[in-house]
A and B are shown apart, each in its own frame.
Chain A
Amino acid sequence: MSGFYNVISYFGDFHFVWMVFIGAVAGLFVGAIPGLSVSMATALLVSITYSWATGDAIATIMGVYTVGVFSGAISAILINIPGAPSSVVTTLDGFPLANRGEAYKALKYATVYSFIGTVFGFVVLWLAAKPISDIALKFTPMDYFLIALFGLAAVGSLTAKSFSKGLISAMIGLILSMIGIDSVMGTPRMTFGIYDLQAGINIVPALVGLFGFNEVLSVISDGYLDAEVSKMVRSVVKIKDMLKYFARSMYYAVIGTLVGALPGAGGPVAAFLAYGEAKRIVKKPDVPFGEGQVEGIVASETANNACIGGALIPMLTLAVPGDAVTAIILSVFYIHGLQPGPMFIKTSPDLFNAVLAGGLIGSVFILLLGLLLGPRISRIISIPKRILLPIVTVLCVIGAFACNNRMFDVGLMFFFGIAGYFMRRRDYPVAPMILALVLGAMMDNNFRRAISLASTEDNMIMALFGRPITLVLMVFTIITVVSNIPAVKCYLDSRGSKKNAV
């Protein structure tokens, strides 16, 4: 009980709340401005907070993290460029809503359900950090490989008109993630003698290129430079209507928190899985998914924000980051002399409480800043495209460069932007590629580890797939792949239409 009072006491600590607020405002702008990302902002904070007190650093970072993940939805809704990979799904329904003149409504739903998701994630972190990390500890390398494969298959099926094209995009991402020094054997792979490639393909320039510069090229290519996007018309959204989705949002929050707790699978997987579940649960939506269905925004935003609390579970208790941002936060902890791991909660209870309080206060700022400043930010974003696009390109250059201070990464960003443009022209989605780039190394390591471990057993197949948890993941993956094969899909569709006719 004393832990509860300790966390609540931070709400009365003006200095702490102020530091969270500074981080929250920074997170709001960083997430909302295209080309800048939460990962980049937290990476910048590593150097900025170096000389700060640990509590201040944690407060600011939690503010940036919570509000930054949410505000990725602002640019996703208003200009169809997600601020972070986890907001990719929000674009599917958010942007069509904005195009219909309902950007304000979309933002309001995104704000409220981001708040709900974040609070849910942190409450779970608070109550169940230990039991959940115990479950994650029981995962074998094959389980990690399968959960990532399942994520890629789900993303491939959700983002492309053609499942094959979605999977091909993921496979190309996996190939690119193989470039660099192999982490198991320490030998260079697919570097073709290029020194800069030995460090591998950094996710930040790839993300900025595929979502930022790609968008610049696509808009110029289509020639819609004077088209007004996402006009902000204030509309009243009744609380009753708003809370209509509350019960189902708890389910999406559970998905988000669980996926967040699995190392490697972060916000994008959570958002895609929740979106897939929403499509499955809502049989006859009033507006089709992908064309401005509010439930799509609710599922995506609740899940990706619930992921924050989930991703902090393995980071704090196992020192294994749940996603790219927690990987950077982990380095902040190390810089401040902290040692996250199984003993962290026992040895540093105050700092654990500070993380919880920072997250919860950050979630309050999601609500306040999202409702008060979110719609106004649209004025910054809805400037004419002929002015906005060149500035976005410059921000893309900074975003790509700031991560490692390498001009090579700027070149990579341009490369991915151009590649993404041609992919888009030929109907290949870029989201599976990004997810594969993030998960590729983890999949490779765990796959080889699983094969190595199983090869010492008498029955290799049983060693690989004999555990119940592995079987469940395997079944999910196979169902996702098989149900998307065109012939099977046609058969299922025809059966469905026959049933409806009866």
Chain B
Amino acid sequence: MEDNIKKGYLQNKNIQDAVLFFILAITLIIYSLVNHYSTAKLEWKLSPYLFPILIAVFIGALSFSLLADGIRQIKLNEKSEKKAAIHWKGVLFTIGISVVYYGTMKFLTFVPSTILFLVAMFLHLGERRIWLIALISVVCSFSIYIIFGVMLHVMLP
């Protein structure tokens, strides 16, 4: 029974966030104090670390507010709104392919890396018409290059 209550507290999202933000607030206060006394060596009124400390105090107070929300939710047995199932595979693939796109732009330049990125994404998102994938990937990449890079003289990655 006690284990279940403990588990309930640990699994409550508001309580998890409250702990995270409380740690963030403490870290920010320590960081600001250390830097103020070691590097800034100024009066507090001029210190670049005055405002961060103020924000940290606010975040600390807000983390207690979140904690109170979480405890209230458990006591009233409120359940957070059910959300649609997350397609983690899709999200992780998109993040992964974006990181690869970011990395390849430096070596392959904008147009080839964009074509490869678009092909991978279209296939991943379920488009199966190869001719359409090829057409849109190439036309879109070159159109963007011409409009931005050539006509508007915008630097492209």
Contacts and interface: CB of A to CB of B under 8 A. Distances in A.
A189 B48 contact: yes
Interface stretch (A195-203, A240-248, A382-390): A382-390
A23 to B, nearest CB: 13
B37 interface: no
Interface SS of chain B = helix
A323 to B, nearest CB: 22
A203 to B, nearest CB: 18
Given A175-B52, A410-B102, A447-B54, 4 more contacts: A189-B52, A190-B31, A220-B87, A421-B91
Contacts, number: 155
Nearest to B25: A171
Interface stretch (A230-238, A313-321, A397-405): A397-405
Q: Which residue, B95, B105, B144, B154, has most C-beta atoms of chain A within 10 A? A: B154
Contacts of B153: 47-48
28 contacts: A48-B153, A162-B69, A164-B65, A168-B62, A175-B28, A175-B55, A178-B55, A185-B47, A187-B40, A216-B94, A217-B91, A221-B86, A222-B84, A222-B87, A386-B122, A387-B122, A393-B98, A393-B117, A398-B156, A401-B157, A407-B157, A414-B102, A421-B91, A426-B13, A444-B51, A448-B50, A485-B65, A486-B68
A12 interface: no
A47 B152 CA distance: 9
A223 interface: yes
Contacts of B98: 213, 393, 414
Interface string A118-149: 00000000000000000000000000000000
Contact of A394 (B62, B99, B118, B127): B118
Contacts of A397: 101, 105, 157
A418 B62 contact: no
Interface in B53-99: 54-55, 58-59, 62-63, 65-66, 68-69, 83-88, 90-91, 94-95, 98-99
B140 to A, nearest CB: 6
Interface string B108-137: 000000100110011001110000000010
A393 B121 contact: yes
Interface residues of A, number: 58
B40 A390 contact: no
Contacts of A390: 117-118, 121-122, 125
Given A387-B136, A398-B154, A418-B95, A164 B66 contact: yes
Interface string A423-464: 001100000000000000001100110011001000000000
Contacts of A391: 118, 136, 140
Interface SS of chain A = helix
Interface of B: 13, 17, 21, 28, 31, 35, 39-40, 42, 45-52, 54-55, 58-59, 62-63, 65-66, 68-69, 83-88, 90-91, 94-95, 98-99, 101-102, 105-106, 114, 117-118, 121-122, 125-127, 136, 140-141, 144, 148, 152-157
A184 B48 contact: yes
B62 A398 contact: no
A291 interface: no
A210 to B, nearest CB: 15
Given A44-B152, A178-B52, A444-B51, A389 B121 contact: yes
B51 A171 contact: no
Given A48-B153, A390-B118, A402-B154, A452 B148 contact: no
B37 to A, nearest CB: 14
A164 B35 CA distance: 28
A448 B51 CA distance: 8
Contact of A174 (B13, B55, B118, B141): B55
Contacts of A401: 155-157
A452 B46 contact: yes
A157 to B, nearest CB: 13
B118 to A, nearest CB: 5
Contacts of B59: 168, 171-172
Contacts of B54: 447
Given A394-B117, A452-B45, A452-B46, A407 B106 contact: yes
A444 B55 CA distance: 10
A221 B84 CA distance: 9
A500 B87 CA distance: 45
